[in-house]
Structure 1
Amino acid sequence: MTETIGKITLNLDKYPGEDYYCDGSVEDEILDIVKKYSTVEYDRIIAERKSWPILYHLSALRENIVDFLPIQKTEKVLEVGSGCGAITGALARKAGEVTCVDLSKKRSLINAYRHSECENVTIHVGNFTDVEPELPADYDYICLIGVFEYGQAYIGGKTPYEDFLKILQKHLAPDSRIVIAIENKYGLKYFAGCKEDHLGSWFSGIENYPEGGVVRTFSRKKLERIFDACGVGERSFYYPYPDYKFMTTVYSDAYLPGRGELSNNLRNFDRDRMLLFDEKSAFDGIVEEGLFSVFSNSYMAVIGAPLDLKYARYSNDRAESFRIRTEILRDKEGCKTVRKYPLTKEAEAHVRHMPEAYEKLKERYAGSSLDVNVCHLGEENGIPYAEFEFVPGRPLSELMDECLDRQDVEGFHNLFAEYLERVGYGEDVPVADFDLIFANILVDGDHWTLIDYEWTFDRPIETRALAFRAVYCYVLEDERRNALELDRILDRLGITENEARQYREQEMEFQKYVTGQKLSMGEIRNLLGGEIYKPTEWIGRFRQTEGELRVQIYEDKGQGFSEENSYFPENVYAEEKQAEFTVNFDGNVHYLRLDPAMCACVCKIRELTMNGQPVPVQDKKIVTTNGKILKSADGAEHPSVVFPTEDPNLTIRVDALDRKAENILTVKMEIVQIPLAVASDMAGAVKKFF
């Protein structure tokens, strides 16, 4: 039994008659969207609906995880667990034939409607184990993107993941590949406070799934043990960053990240998260220790011949005219080369402009101490690309970071001065690279090379404007760089505060030019409303509150108050802000002093009695205080006292009351800590109005 939607065929022979997996009514909403709107409108709809499932299923960034695969138009692809078709479109554009398998008919309908013009796609609806026996054995690629972790649910048995892989291997053509994208159970984001993606609980994977369930993610070593058990020979690992769902960069063992590159970490969108530490700083240390393969948030495992590609970065968080992919590849001689490809038809002109920019910048900097990376135009399957030499060296930003780390301020400013001298050459020439940031310059001894000049314009730009932007971007990337003496830099550049403001506004306009109407993923995250909780701040506030909201009692037996004759009563707070305690004292005490806190605060006195009789708080002969007593709505019976001091106190002359040999002072009050400045204002208002 089949159903046709546009040019796509749905095979329903193995469909059990109902969907056993569903996200609820949001799937009906997504189905309605893909029926009514074209793919170019999805970005707008994502921004308007502010929904995680809509973002997850419809974002074009989902395609990045397979976009760089070298799939040819002559090849066949099997996509297991195709869902709503987040990557089906990318596979259909690259391959000659795509076969999808998914358990859900609703999701398969979404897939079909959104890709209804793809005549090379067939979708099988049903459980994989039911569909699999009828699949051919000639696929060039089998893709499991976010699927392998469900092997136990698909296959069952004692060794479900090994069995799953063995079944898949039967459907491969010679010299073919299996591609698995999956979360790393020990990904750094989980240690830092992201919930486990599938269970929605903290540390589930790290704790080895103590509550059970059918979903399992793995470390790299565990994946390799599974592969070994299946007789897998060639395999290679790639590292999607921030993770495979919305990947912007993919690394490999042949090209691992450098220090400072992994700064885009707040990229969970589906739920609130904690932030237990600075992930960028942690990644910097992990990179330096050679442990990135252990703590990468996700893996892409390629079973079969390794890819020529060693690195890819996606800049598709932009307007259509500027969306590109940057790759680092090895050629036939084993040499690395860098290529930039357009991701849209509109971006082809942007790529063609890069070799032109090279020629103009080369002419400007001829005879200077700044080299410009060689670029020429190429073409692949009718698509233009800009190819650059792979230049050795370290980013100038990394050298500057090292100066800051060792507090070598002069070393930093020496590098900055050299930057100004080298990039400022030919300042009056009507061509300039607006993006002359520190990260775009590689330093190899005395050779400084500009490696990226994507934003080159045919007009002169003042060196101080370029340098200000470089510093501005440098500081924004890492809070630790705020230690820079920015005033010294502004003085060095001769930039006034007003000019600095104008440059910042210019940067905002430039970003709008680059992104167009498209929201950044950071902005989308804010729209979805996921909270970021910082327990370290909670602990700090708790400790501060615990320390400052402590009640201290002083007794004066004729020698005045002293720390030696004071104590802290225990179990003061019956609940938050509600203090209830008793003070037992003998007949030798003349004065009692109550310090309700060790910070500015407001105290609402609910009860203050000695031996069962009310203490007259308003009688200044009996009660004195360094706070201000506020007029209360219920008269003098339950007044509030504002303390504009960090040493608040209330002193009671107990020898003027009905003192006995053994006495009990009963205290009930609500104590609220407030900023000192606010307390001072409140106390001033008491003077004025009362």
Structure 2
Amino acid sequence: MTENKKVEQIGKIKLDLTLYPGQDLYCDGAIEDELLELVKTYPKEEFPRLIEEKKSWPVLYHLSPLRENIVDWIPMKSGVKVLEVGSGCGAITGALSRKAGELTCVELSKKRSLINAYRNQSCENVTIHVGNFADIEPNLPRDYDYICLIGVFEYGQSYIQGEHPYETFLKTLLKHLAPEGRLIIAIENKYGLKYFAGCQEDHLGTYFGGIENYKPGDGVRTFGRRGLEKIFEACDVQDYSFYYPYPDYKFMTKLYSDAYLPGKGELSQNICNYDRDRMVLFDETRAFDGVIEEELFSVFANSYLVVLGQAPEVKYVKYSNDRAPEYQIRTQISEDAKGQILVTKHPLSEEALEHIRSLEAAYCGLRQRYEGSGLLVNRCELCQEEGQLWASFEYVPGVPLGELLDRCLKKNDLEGFYGLFREYVKRIGYNSDYPVSDFDMVFSNILVQGDTWTLIDYEWTFGKEVAPAELAYRAVHCYLMEDPGRESLDLERMKKELGITDEQAREYQEQEIEFQKFVTGQRKAMSQIRELVGGRVLTPVKWMEHDLAGGDVLRMQVYEDKGEGYSEERSYFVPEAYRSEHWIETELTVDRQVRMLRIDPAMDSCVVKIHELTWNGTPVPVKGRKMMVTNGRVANDKSVIFATQDPNINLRVGELPGQEQNKLKVRMEVRRIPKDMAEDLAASVKKLI
């Protein structure tokens, strides 16, 4: 055991610095300073507001309450002993503390541990050991009921030296498990569909880094399912269960398992690039549908959560906590030891208790309204045990109505589609003057088995009449919003089917906006936060189509004059100069004999903004005519308007200090505009060079 312990107390949390080496071996600098100040100043309840105000990826990533979803669902008995390796800034520490009797954290960085301690200072069962895992590990107990590695296992080769660092890391951790303990690993799937679709590798920030099997020295490595299984087998682990967090483990909203896989049309929340730019190479929702159809979801899921040890009873989880506190709940499907399937809804906050209680009354009201209609209402019963309240429902077999409608659209069976839709309108419109209505009668909330239609979710039930046409129009609106592939549906015909005017449709859409504000408590949804925080969404197919339609006008051509003037023979195209539709970024090699260099940024009228022009690392002076001459009209020192299909920028490189081989770095933004518009703009600008 280690003598002379050095322990600090922050609130109720113990910070054990006994094995801290004295300095942080990694640090995000000013970002961590800002995070520390925020958690010192504001309570957790203020974090959602701060995320919206700061519009910062690190603030979102470290402070979002949705980060807790990845462990919140794990069934832990009262008093369990938990180890969290790589606890970072404490994104999940609070959730583990609430579930555990005793929680031990291990974290290399003192600054991050301070952030963790201050944000969770009311937790009285937490000790954070600061230092290198290899130094701390020998002194850790060997009877943990749970060991959690959330976004940590991929760094195994950084923790452990040797030929097989991941196997060694896992074997070391397993020694600290109690006999019936479980080890939890959350990790990105190296072959996650999002990476094929154009997301950058999460850790390296490179396109296809994991798919291309990483490079030596990358310092991090994720795995496909089989890769993880090989590691488990090498460590003699036979008992493990795979779960599939969606859209990934960081901001999980749904958790699937091999016992409960997603259905077609369910995986539509795919644009989640909060941290960096991404490409969209194909429609992920449709691709996922094919993956599901071919039973390959376990191969292409974006993330894995693996439970080593006895499998939990939970088979599926859906989180609805991107909402106001009074409506934050978790829905889960479990299977008990007798094989009975249970569907339950749980409050995620004290404020949400009343929302759960209201479900029983909603069931009673809807059952009375729809008795004899052909629309069954899934039975709800309130349960309470050890001070915990939840709502229990029957597990109902069947196919979601939305999937049946999709099948009709896929076969172009419009008669079948409208037949189902009319049946839906008839059933939900039954007894319409009864003062109880489920506002959320969307197609995914109705399961169909033969002639049996069952409403399985009625969370948004109100004690008032709502016109069936309004409920049906909202269902159609949500159906179209979920999947752009359904845009072939004739909305005008749907409105005629329902007898809805354009004015009523606009009114219903405005009501939907207000309803969403009601649900979120005026907070921004994660999709809106992505717009504030996230990177660009780039569509290469559109660039290609644009190039083809424009006759290859977005090409950069370079001419060299070595004293004999310009000529086509002494020119060349730079194939990869355009990094995206509007951006040139390239480095040219220019030998000493070149006196003048001409760059044609495009083959059409355009506006060019020069972001960088350096010669051997030194900026080229572009103001005045001394070094740069152009056939365009300069709007300012960096922007040039070209009202010609032969735009060019000429540089007197022979007058710049040089060497045998010189490097000219070029970064330009190029925007094509019609020639007449370019002429009008050029005429309004005084020519400067």
Q: 1:357 aligns with which of 348, 354, 362?
A: 362
Task: Establish whether residue 513 from structure 1 lines up as the match of residue 510 from structure 2.
Answer: no
> Alpha carbons of 1:136 and 1:672: their partners in 2 closer, same or farther (altered >3 Å)?
closer
> Alpha carbons of 1:430 and 1:127: their partners in 2 closer, same or farther (altered >3 Å)?
same
- Retained in 1: the 8 A contact 2:547–2:554? no
Distance 1:570 1:442 in 2: 69
Q: 1:57 aligns with which of 54, 62, 75?
A: 62
Task: Establish whether residue 495 from structure 1 lines up as the match of residue 467 from structure 2.
Answer: no
Q: Per-residue deviation at 1:547?
A: 5.3
Deviations 1:300-358 (A, max 9, x none): 11000001000000000000010000000012320212100000100110011001100
Q: 2:469 aligns with which of 460, 464, 470?
A: 464
SS at match of 1:347: helix
- Retained in 2: the 8 A contact 1:270–1:530? yes
Task: Establish whether residue 229 from structure 1 lines up as the match of residue 204 from structure 2.
Answer: no
2:451 aligns to what?
446
Distance 2:447 2:514 in 1: 27
More divergent stretch after superposition (127-136 vs 206-215): 206-215
- Retained in 2: the 8 A contact 1:600–1:679? no
Correspondence list, 1:220-369, <5 A: 220-369=225-374
TM-score (norm 1): 0.81
- Retained in 2: the 8 A contact 1:371–1:448? yes
Task: Establish whether residue 435 from structure 1 lines up as the match of residue 435 from structure 2.
Answer: no
Counterpart amino acid of 1:298? S
> Alpha carbons of 1:79 and 1:547: their partners in 2 closer, same or farther (altered >3 Å)?
closer
Q: Per-residue deviation at 1:678?
A: 6.8
SS at match of 1:173: strand
Counterpart amino acid of 1:394? V
Q: Per-residue deviation at 1:674?
A: 4.8
1:27 aligns to what?
32
Deviations 1:523-548 (A, max 9, x none): 11111141011111111111222357
SS at match of 1:277: coil
More divergent stretch after superposition (534-543 vs 500-509): 534-543
Q: 1:41 aligns with which of 46, 57, 62?
A: 46
2:95 aligns to what?
90
> Alpha carbons of 1:490 and 1:159: their partners in 2 closer, same or farther (altered >3 Å)?
same
Correspondence list, 1:649-660, <5 A: none
Distance 1:361 1:489 in 2: 26
> Alpha carbons of 1:92 and 1:410: their partners in 2 closer, same or farther (altered >3 Å)?
same
2:199 aligns to what?
194
Counterpart amino acid of 1:469? R
Distance 1:194 1:642 in 2: 37
SS at match of 1:263: coil
Distance 1:572 1:384 in 2: 76
Q: 1:122 aligns with which of 95, 118, 127?
A: 127
Which runs of at least 4 in structure 1 moved beyond 4 Å after TM superposition?
547-550, 569-577, 599-603, 640-643, 671-682
1:209 aligns to what?
214
Distance 2:552 2:33 in 1: 53
Distance 1:79 1:356 in 2: 41
Correspondence list, 1:544-583, <5 A: 544-546=549-551
1:394 aligns to what?
399
2:176 aligns to what?
171
> Alpha carbons of 1:206 and 1:673: their partners in 2 closer, same or farther (altered >3 Å)?
closer
Counterpart amino acid of 1:102? E
More divergent stretch after superposition (210-219 vs 15-24): 210-219
Distance 1:70 1:421 in 2: 42
Unaligned runs of 5+ in 2: 1-5, 556-567, 579-602, 608-632, 635-641, 646-669, 682-689
Distance 2:525 2:188 in 1: 23
- Retained in 1: the 8 A contact 2:237–2:308? yes
Counterpart amino acid of 2:292? V
Q: Per-residue deviation at 1:522?
A: 1.0
SS at match of 2:487: helix
- Retained in 2: the 8 A contact 1:35–1:114? yes
Counterpart amino acid of 1:501? R
Task: Establish whether residue 479 from structure 1 lines up as the match of residue 484 from structure 2.
Answer: yes
Deviations 1:455-492 (A, max 9, x none): 00000111001010010110111111111111111111
Q: Per-residue deviation at 1:230?
A: 0.7
- Retained in 2: the 8 A contact 1:152–1:160? yes
SS at match of 1:483: coil
Counterpart amino acid of 1:56? Y
Distance 2:365 2:676 in 1: 59
Counterpart amino acid of 1:290? E
Distance 1:493 1:202 in 2: 47
Distance 2:152 2:215 in 1: 21
- Retained in 2: the 8 A contact 1:358–1:373? yes
Q: Per-residue deviation at 1:600?
A: 10
1:586 aligns to what?
none
Q: Per-residue deviation at 1:24?
A: 1.4
SS at match of 1:312: strand
Distance 2:469 2:260 in 1: 34
Distance 1:403 1:154 in 2: 53
Counterpart amino acid of 2:149? L
> Alpha carbons of 1:125 and 1:674: their partners in 2 closer, same or farther (altered >3 Å)?
closer
Distance 1:33 1:365 in 2: 51
Q: 1:159 aligns with which of 161, 164, 168?
A: 164
> Alpha carbons of 1:571 and 1:415: their partners in 2 closer, same or farther (altered >3 Å)?
farther
- Retained in 1: the 8 A contact 2:328–2:349? yes
Q: 2:109 aligns with which of 90, 104, 114?
A: 104
> Alpha carbons of 1:158 and 1:527: their partners in 2 closer, same or farther (altered >3 Å)?
same
> Alpha carbons of 1:364 and 1:209: their partners in 2 closer, same or farther (altered >3 Å)?
same
TM-score (norm 2): 0.81
Distance 2:54 2:448 in 1: 46
> Alpha carbons of 1:17 and 1:361: their partners in 2 closer, same or farther (altered >3 Å)?
same
Distance 2:156 2:419 in 1: 57
More divergent stretch after superposition (235-244 vs 512-521): 512-521
Distance 1:288 1:546 in 2: 40
